[in-house]
Copies of this chain bind each other. A is one copy, B any other.
């Protein structure tokens, strides 16, 4: 009945993640070694990406009456339409990416000299602004591993599937962008190995603290890595490992204490239930032909001046991917996004101000989001709180901006999609009382929700991973 010898129980997993997040000198190699490897990876040209007109997208076409943009295999993904009735009068419609299959975003972890390290990949994606980004061990759509495109299997996939896989420490479905994807979910996995695995030149072992520090570099740690990192629960680090030099940083450590918090877990779950109950949005997928206000040119599918994105086509010539050449559509956000957690020390404990935000492509419409997330969703009421918090973020004293980086969204689907992620400290004068759609939570409380689907949206998960970089 006891756990099998050598297996990692849940509490033990937290202890190992926490030790890895304070590895310091105990790392297998110093961060300089990472930079040397990374620079070398970056010199190898493996990819060229060219914008092409839609008629040159090999294998893609507009399907019959729906005029959905689909692949001839019927798999991968398609560009379809979405119509919804939001908070106000009238309906909105827009194109949306439909990718019903659930992929795997997985990180292999293994101890070296007692310190857990993550096997991270230097991976290229066609939409990346800088081609190469630091990615999970495995990033595989179901089409990848069921071999729809007849390419090679991604390395290390076998450790995540089938009877011989390693011990699963995390395995949870998490949503992706609810304004760009129709009910997309991926499987976020962390698998623990004790045996040796083959080395591969595109992969490098890093302890968590090194990865957390790399989050501060613009466009380095990719979205898929960030969401998996967010699902690794951490305990409060010991002060021997982590001894901060200002009151905010001390209060941040208290945010990892399971006993502390303005609200109980029951209150937080009840607040979220209330937010879901209040939401009366109705959403339906429609044929792309029925989306209003959007039109095709040779080169793009574009909305009016207010449209936050357009759809384009690219051709990719690659040298070391599963298939060598392909072409595909990409969604190009027009302008950078913004995602901000306002953070306040309440009773000596840092709390993050979480928003119950509606996005039409999310399965439950409502998920927990950053305090400020822009662009706003069309059809959502922008309440006084949202405006006030956005102004607070914009006017913040730079010394209170605790985290600030421009990070990329998924380069396999989005062309140069970048979001500015910020964690901004607010002061004593900032009210604890907040509007109904907002709730203060500690880091511990946020982490606890990530055992389950449908709580934190992808932007909130990225910011939670960034919180860990402030130790």
Residues of chain A having any CB pair with chain B under 8 Å:
1, 3, 9-10, 13, 100-102, 142, 168-173, 187, 260-262, 264-267, 269-270, 273-274, 276-277, 280, 282, 284-285, 346-349, 363-364, 451-454
Which residue of the partner chain, among B173, B276, B347, B349, contacts A273 with CB atoms under 8 Å? B173
CA–CA, A429 and B55, complex, Å = 64
> Apart from A10-B264, A13-B266, A173-B273, what 13 extra A-B contacts exist at CB < 8 Å?
A1-B346, A3-B264, A10-B265, A101-B280, A142-B277, A171-B269, A171-B270, A171-B273, A187-B277, A269-B452, A363-B363, A453-B454, A454-B454
Task: Let me know if B266 and A347 touch, CB within 8 A.
Answer: no
Task: Let me know if B1 and A274 touch, CB within 8 A.
Answer: no
CA–CA, A101 and B282, complex, Å = 10
Number of copies of this chain that the complex holds: 2
Task: Let me know if A168 and B270 touch, CB within 8 A.
Answer: yes
Task: Let me know if B1 and A349 touch, CB within 8 A.
Answer: yes
Majority secondary structure, A binding face: mixed
CA–CA, A348 and B2, complex, Å = 12
Residue among A9, A262, A452 facing the most chain B CB atoms (10 A cut-off): A452
Closest beta carbon of chain B to A303's beta carbon, Å? 25
Closest beta carbon of chain B to A75's beta carbon, Å? 11
Residues of B within 8 A of A10 (CB): 264-266
Residues of B within 8 A of A100 (CB): 280, 282
A282, closest chain B residue (CB): B100
CA–CA, A363 and B168, complex, Å = 26
Which residue of the partner chain, among B9, B267, B280, B363, contacts A264 with CB atoms under 8 Å? B9
Residue among A168, A172, A454 facing the most chain B CB atoms (10 A cut-off): A168
Residues of B within 8 A of A101 (CB): 280
Between A and B, 10 residue pairs with Cβ closer than 8 Å are A1-B347, A1-B348, A3-B264, A10-B266, A13-B266, A169-B266, A171-B273, A173-B276, A269-B451, A363-B364
CA–CA, A284 and B283, complex, Å = 12
CA–CA, A451 and B266, complex, Å = 9
CA–CA, A349 and B168, complex, Å = 24
